[in-house]
Structure 1
Amino acid sequence: MSESKTLNNLMAAFAGESQANRKYTAYSKKAEADGKINAAKLFKAAADAETLHALKHFEVAGKINTTPENLKDAVAGETHEYTEMYPDFLKEAEAEGNKEAIKTFTLAMKAEAVHAKLYQEALENLDETEEIFYYLCPVCGNIEKSIPDKCSICGVPGTSFIKY
């Protein structure tokens, strides 16, 4: 699809729907923690609806390519995040003395470096047929190919990791 107002609108809609998904997921978790189960379920359903919208906008925009192209795009995106975006964000958070922002940016930056490496490995081994399992740290977003004793980034016990 050539550069057009519609393409720009599809990408803006994709970004907005993607953000709404994450926001409503956060609201759902808070409502659940508050014991407001009906509100939690509504937020979760709405989050899933926003995901449906975002995925369709992305597809119509022609942004889903071959798996090798998608893996290369993922490597580039994750590499940008850990080499440029988060280091810049960290400098600003440090200048402002925002300790919580420093912590979340640092954890994410370290996890993004791991993600880039894993995407590159997947690209290089795309024709491998043996199934690989991935394990996600629910605190910092680190991904491992086996359950660690503890997360190498944030120290959470490996028993907390989520299997994919």
Structure 2
Amino acid sequence: MAVNFKESKTKENLMRAFAGESQARNRYTIGAEKARQMKMYSIADIFVYTADQERAHAERYYELLKSLSGDTIFIDGGYPVDQQESLAQLIRAAEHNEKEEAENVYQEFSRVAKEEGFLEAASAFSLIAEVERTHQLRFAEVAEMLEKSEYFACADTGKWICTNCGYIFEGKQAPSSCPSCHHEQGYFLPYELAPYKGNH
């Protein structure tokens, strides 16, 4: 049943999503700073990379509210406080939040938008839910590596890429500093997590 956008639940859900994505972006930039303090620069980059995508999601939801420009939308909602001490716990919290968005929140928002006749919003919720699932899986992989002490080491031969200069190292453990640019180990990223890969 089509409803007036100004009176819709979808309008409120878009604002909730905008608020949630905006907060996620800030949580991830705060997480990035914590990772930098721990000299885990490649994990800081993962947080920033994800934060930038959350900003893009917030922008998309905000665009869909353009017809209400000048109005104030009052919403209620629950948003997480993630102040964990260890990097692995912080990443597990991010994984959990992404899972909630992917499997529950945005699926429900999409269903309501379809029901109310707002198909563009329904599609946005559904497509962004898929991205949040990717974020969830990436955070889960990083957290597991940290928990098993496998982020910089592996039982067999592994590969790491220096996020400063791009040097690719193969061995059982990432070097304490990059042989090419001499940046410290925290700049190395497990190669399977690299967003741009060659044929190595």
Larger radius of gyration: 2
**TM-score normalised by the chain length of structure 1:** 0.44
Higher fraction of strand:
2
Larger relative helix fraction? 1
User: Greater RCO between the two (CA within 8 Å, min separation 6)?
Assistant: 2
